[in-house]
Amino acid sequence: MSVKQHTAATGNGHGHGNQDHGHHELPFWRKYIFSVDHKVIGIQYAVTALVFLFFGFSLMMMMRWQLAYPGQPLPLIGNLLGETAMPGGVMAPEFYNQLGAMHGTIMVFMGVVPLAVGGFGNFVVPLQIGAPDMAFPRLNMASYWVFLPGCIAMVASFFLPGGAAQSGWTSYPPLADIAPTGQTMWLFAMVLIITSSLLGSINFIVTIVQMRAKGLSFWRLPFFVHAQLVTAFLLLLAFPPLEAASVMQIMDRVAGTSFFLPTGLVVSGEPLKVAGGGNPLLWQHLFWFLAHPEVYVLILPAMGIVAEVIANNTRKPLWGYRLLVYSVVSLGFMSFVVWAHHMFMTGMGTTMSTFFQITTMIISIPSVVILTCFIMSLYGGNIRFTTPMLFATAFLPMFAIGGLTGLPLGLTASDIYLHDTFYVIGHFHYVVAPGTLFALFAGVYYWYPKATGRQLNEKLGKVHFWLSFVAINFVFMPMFFQGMAGLSRRLYDPTVYAHGRGVQALNVLISWGAWGLGLAQLFFIVNFFLSLKKGARVAENPWNATTLEWAAPSPPGHGNFITEPVVYREPYEYSVPGKSNDYSPQFRAEG
């Protein structure tokens, strides 16, 4: 594919010292490994993320054995993991804690965000705005190649003496300060991953603002792009405090400082030989300053994907487009001022807790507006229940459950009882698992044809959906009841408590649901690889969609578009009265 020069003066001064001139192909390692092409980088991120999603889920599938059958040897795998982790095939408590901490860390930082932002963001955004690539292609490449070593370091930490990080994905001191070496590796890996994220977010913001095609004003951008823009700002401004905190925890662990260690701390009966004077809550403030916006990083791109898939499959414009944009911006802003609702139990005074309760209640409003707009978008539509649409539609009630169950957690009166119980786990998993992850699956089924030139198999897709949908509810719904019964999270053996024994039957149900959910993913994995070779071939616009990415070939070549795209209309002109077609693409002059 040839690349047309952009009409505006560009003054291309790329140092092209060692670049091939003329029509030479790039060598394999520059085309597929150290590529600067956003599509290749997007796929690198996406594939890496999918691998880690499955790996992180496998860690949980192991934990679920211990929870369902405490103290029983794990069949088959139990004897393969060594005597330290699984003595006699039975999970050691320390190993359970490692699995827990690493499950959370891997799913959030190496699974969902890299897929939602690194994968979909990188691949789709430049195409949707009609750009030839991201603003800083080499920075983009650097971003991935800082991310991957971070991931490798994270996984490698399992092999350190004492094992991987085991103080929760939240790494609270003082425990995390004195934990085995794996925790230092966690901190180091986080610094790499955070740096990668910062570089990426700069790229996204500059690209979206500066490199839109002619005619593509802000109010004509697909909602997916708005969502990614807000997400990029969240990553840019919220991550640095965690980076600072990680540096301080590294200092505590390696240089013997006491940033987070209070005076007089006693460990195993012995006073800790440190200067003291630190504050463990300082870590919590800095961690949650990031981690709360982080959960909006998890949900916003997913909302963006749902918007695209719903509009396309209802053959109707999105309901309340401007409302959606205002909501997503206010959601982003509010996400910076709610973080201490994770800290209600730390002895906070009533003034500050009132402040954070109010902001937390306020932040639920834009979420509800967004969900309402999506639901209204379905009304009166000519709905096609393709596989992406199944996932996108299921997102709606699942996200609703996740959001609603958050409300009692945001109010201190009820949070006193529910904090650190399985109720919390149920709440946030509903938002992230049948919420975000379903939306991400929708995205894969929707954009796979664009990336590969082939369709994923619909039958396998539908089986994947239905099995996953049923299983996932068996996994997370019972957790609300366990939490309300008082069952704590991060508990190696629930049956030590009477109230745990009371809900132990649910643990068995949940575990079998989880293993079923794992098996259901095989349909996706098989489909993914099989369709690469055997999937039905597609042209540029197999879904009859309206946004710019569907003007490019499937898959797009270097530079993306054959002729420079121009935008003529709003992004969701479906079923416009008087037109012969039920869709008018943004990029076609005459609808």
Partner 1 sequence: MDAAQHEDVSKHMGQYYVVFVALLCLTAVTVGVSYLHLARPAAIAVALVIATVKAGLVAAVFMHLISERKVIYAVLIITAVFFAVLLLLPNLTTFEHHSGLPGT
Partner 2 sequence: MSETVIPYMVKPHPVTGIPNGKFGIWLFLASEVMLFGALFSSYVLIRTGMPHWPPEGGLSSEVLNVPLATLNTAVLITSSITMVLAWASCKMGNLPRFRLWMGATIALAFVFLVVKYFEYSHKFHLGHTPAHDNFYAVYFTMTGLHGLHIVGGIIVNGYLLGPGTKLWAKDPEHFTNRVENAGLYWHFVDLVWIFLFPSLYLL
Q: How far apart are CA 34 and CA 36, in angstroms?
A: 7
User: For residues 2-31, which are near partner 2 according to CB under 8 A?
Assistant: 3, 5-6, 8-17, 19, 21-26
- In order, the DSSP letters of 365-377 are HHHHHHHHHHHHH
Among partner 2, partner 1, none, what binds residue 350 when CB lies within 5 to 8 Å by partner kind? partner 1
Q: How far is the CB of 349 from partner 1 (least distance, A)?
A: 3
Residue 458 Cα distances to 261, 455, 522, 540, angstroms:
55, 8, 15, 19
Among partner 1, partner 2, none, what binds residue 340 when CB lies within 5 to 8 Å by partner kind? partner 1
Among partner 1, partner 2, none, what binds residue 354 when CB lies within 5 to 8 Å by partner kind? none
> How is residue 289 written in tokens?
């300053």
- Percent helix, strand and coil across the chain, each rounded to 5? 65, 0, 30
- 3-state secondary structure at position 356: helix
Q: How far apart are CA 393 and CA 401, in angstroms?
A: 14
Q: Among 33, 275, 407, 539, which residue sits at the site for partner 2 (rule: CB under 8 A)? A: 275
CA 420 from centroid of its chain's CA atoms:
22
Among partner 2, partner 1, none, what binds residue 6 when CB lies within 5 to 8 Å by partner kind? partner 2
Residue 341 Cα distances to 39, 432, 485, 580, angstroms:
38, 18, 22, 53
Per CB under 8 A, 205 contacts partner 2? yes
Q: How many CB atoms lie within 10 A of CB 468?
A: 24
Contact map string, positions 549 to 578, toward partner 2, x by CB under 8 A = ---------xx-------------------
Nearer Cβ to partner 1 (201/452)? 201
Nearer Cβ to partner 2 (71/276)? 276
- 84: CB partners within 8 A, 6+ apart: 92, 95, 163
542 within 8 A of 455, measured Cβ to Cβ = yes
- 3-state secondary structure at position 581: coil
194 within 8 A of 277, measured Cβ to Cβ = no
User: For residues 383-412, which are near partner 1 according to CB under 8 A?
Assistant: none
Span interacting with partner 1, options 126-134, 333-341, 449-457, 477-485, rule CB under 8 A: 333-341
**What sign for the dihedral angle of Cα 475, 332, 319, 383?**
negative
Nearer Cβ to partner 1 (234/503)? 234
Among partner 2, partner 1, none, what binds residue 255 when CB lies within 5 to 8 Å by partner kind? partner 2
Nearer Cβ to partner 2 (37/308)? 37
Per CB under 8 A, 533 contacts partner 2? no
User: For residues 341-370, which are near partner 1 according to CB under 8 A?
Assistant: 343, 346-352
Q: How far apart are CA 508 and CA 373, in angstroms?
A: 38
Nearest to 430 by CA among 406, 402, 397: 402
Contact map string, positions 281 to 300, toward partner 1, x by CB under 8 A = xx--xx--x-----------
Q: How many CB atoms lie within 10 A of CB 330?
A: 16
Q: How far is the CB of 279 from partner 1 (least distance, A)?
A: 7
List the beta strands (DSSP E) in 244-297: 266-267, 270-271
Q: Among 51, 80, 209, 505, which residue sits at the site for partner 1 (rule: CB under 8 A)? A: 209
Q: Among 43, 59, 234, 243, which residue sits at the site for partner 2 (rule: CB under 8 A)? A: 243
Tell me which residues touch partner 2 (CB under 8 A). Answer: 3, 5-6, 8-17, 19, 21-26, 37, 131-133, 135-137, 139, 198, 201-203, 205-206, 209-211, 236-241, 243-245, 247-248, 251, 255-259, 274-275, 277-279, 282, 285-286, 289, 558-559
Tell me which residues touch partner 1 (CB under 8 A). Answer: 209, 233, 237, 241, 279, 281-282, 285-286, 289, 336-337, 340, 343, 346-352
